Structure 1
């Protein structure tokens, strides 16, 4: 690592040729090439391209102007599958996170298919006195959720040499009273207090309409009555298992009283809130999250960015499917 750092500094900062670096390090030119490759792949070097001529850069500026959030548009070919699109956006998000997260910081992470993809592409970055905090519980009536959520959070913690703070509660309690009582326990208050003091929150947008189904809608977390309730209350998506409508409102959504994700008032106080989205089917949920002012930094694919900027009407034009149809489609 020391040799890679030295080679990278000489090559990128001092503009030395590989032959000159090989001479200074008393090694071969091929070894210098391998050191530079290692520096890039391990995250020691972060290469960014900012061209004012590229459409993605223009879209980034327009998203800032229209929605007041910093934007990073990830180039993705138009014919890409939804899985490939998500993987490319996740890879871009993983690189960008290294610029945001550092020593003496805490980052809250919401589990889900997007976060799982990001965790697989993280580049190691050594930090000190840092924490990765689980934003919402993952258990349900079929599983504790520990294996799924902890694997995602473990990758984040190991990549940043950070402490892992898990949140061992279900995604939804059976009753609001259970949540209220448990939230008074000191062990739970410790995690809740950490969530309230986060430097960064990282999340995707869950959607019942997504082409890659959000984990909360296919993992056994919702029953038919829940789907019926979400449909009647015109829910378009969720962030960390807290549901919202197209206008960003959450009032009167019964399931939120049992949810373990952070209230939006708490989330909005976190200085940097990074939302990662890929695919047009997530657009209604993204517009709702923007309306709720949950996002400060948006990482999004080109096609979705273009569609977002072309949206000049209400954030969503159709109500959720009836509960029977939606829950049946999810089970399939």
Structure 2
């Protein structure tokens, strides 16, 4: 056996012995190890893999796009690391801060955060996983940038209903979850119920129905949940506050109860509390208790106007991974001073 063959066997052995990773994933990982960890040139890797240089280039690109390789730029003048450390120290979450460019408007910044979040999410998605996805403008933007990653036995489940008095919301919410499903070769489970029932008693009765219980049981098995933060403070109101989901009495109730925001249409105050918020009794999103039991809670936020709402979500311990733009994180930390 030549030294090259021995090295290749050593690199491949853990994968071939125990992992169901597809051949392309395996080849991409091998090429990435040789390129990034052993400093081999693409020409040298092509010779070892007995393939062309262009194939090696495509494998390295595939490794980056699917999250097998993540490139981090270390800039001693970059404040992002300091901000990420400050958020981790204060709230015990892992933060990913997207640098802020002053020439970007709110929509452009959301688009940049969505792209960053989509790429950051990829390594968390595995085979045989139940992935819960909320709906909203942030998740709509994020769903357009999801990297393709092949999994098996995985399911994407909608976290909360989207129907209201004007629409069933099926096209809006289903488009998001279907994009997630397509990106990860996952089955899709929609949740065709209202965002809010008219009466709490109706919700209690519906939650006993076997067809609804099937979705609720699936949500209870979530290992990963992805969501944005709805905010009553945002310059551009979150979809739940502007899409005919709340009537005047609902809005007045939220104001009286000092609500700061919501995750998947379940509301909280800035201090993280949620007791006594009447609308939560009619909401179809997962309870905060259920959300806190999910291993990875992936929150995506764009816009400093959402800082108080984000603070409430963090105080409620609903987040483990945060992707947010620099201006939003600075506004969040300013609230603590």
TM-score where L is the length of structure 2: 0.85
Q: CA deviation at 1:69?
A: 1.4
User: Any idea what SS the aligned residue of 1:210 has?
Assistant: coil
Conservation of the 8 A alpha-carbon contact between 1:138 and 1:149: yes
Picking from 114, 119, 128, the partner of 2:143 is 119
| Cα distance in 2 for residues equivalent to 1:272 and 1:28 | 39
Picking from 199, 202, 206, the partner of 1:175 is 199
| Cα distance in 2 for residues equivalent to 1:269 and 1:6 | 35
Q: CA deviation at 1:5?
A: 5.7
| Cα distance in 2 for residues equivalent to 1:187 and 1:46 | 41
Give the stretch that moved more between structures: 304-313 or 120-129: 304-313
Alignment of 1:211-290 (within 5 A): 211-290=235-314
> What's the counterpart of residue 84 of structure 1?
108
Answering whether residue 292 of structure 2 is matched by residue 292 of structure 1, we say no
Deviations 1:36-93 (A, max 9, x none): 4454345554333355663111211111111111111122313321112111111111
> What's the counterpart of residue 131 of structure 1?
155
| Cα distance in 2 for residues equivalent to 1:13 and 1:127 | 26
Answering whether residue 77 of structure 2 is matched by residue 60 of structure 1, we say no
Alignment RMSD (CA, Å): 2.2
Q: CA deviation at 1:208?
A: 2.2
Alignment of 1:3-18 (within 5 A): 7-18=31-42
Q: CA deviation at 1:113?
A: 0.7
Q: CA deviation at 1:29?
A: 4.6
CA pair 207-17 structure 1, distance change in 2 beyond 3 A: same
Deviations 1:209-263 (A, max 9, x none): 2134311122211122221222222211111001122222222222111110111
Conservation of the 8 A alpha-carbon contact between 1:133 and 1:195: yes
Answering whether residue 232 of structure 2 is matched by residue 208 of structure 1, we say yes
| Cα distance in 2 for residues equivalent to 1:268 and 1:4 | 35
Give the stretch that moved more between structures: 17-26 or 204-213: 17-26
CA pair 252-301 structure 1, distance change in 2 beyond 3 A: same
Deviations 1:245-297 (A, max 9, x none): 22222222221111101111121121221111111011010111112121122
CA pair 133-252 structure 1, distance change in 2 beyond 3 A: same
Conservation of the 8 A alpha-carbon contact between 1:236 and 1:285: yes
Give the stretch that moved more between structures: 29-38 or 204-213: 29-38
Structure 1: which 5+ residue stretches go unaligned?
A: 314-332
Q: CA deviation at 1:20?
A: 2.7
Picking from 85, 89, 96, the partner of 1:72 is 96
Picking from 155, 168, 178, the partner of 1:144 is 168
Conservation of the 8 A alpha-carbon contact between 1:10 and 1:21: yes
Conservation of the 8 A alpha-carbon contact between 1:144 and 1:170: yes
Picking from 160, 163, 167, the partner of 2:184 is 160
| Cα distance in 1 for residues equivalent to 2:291 and 2:285 | 9
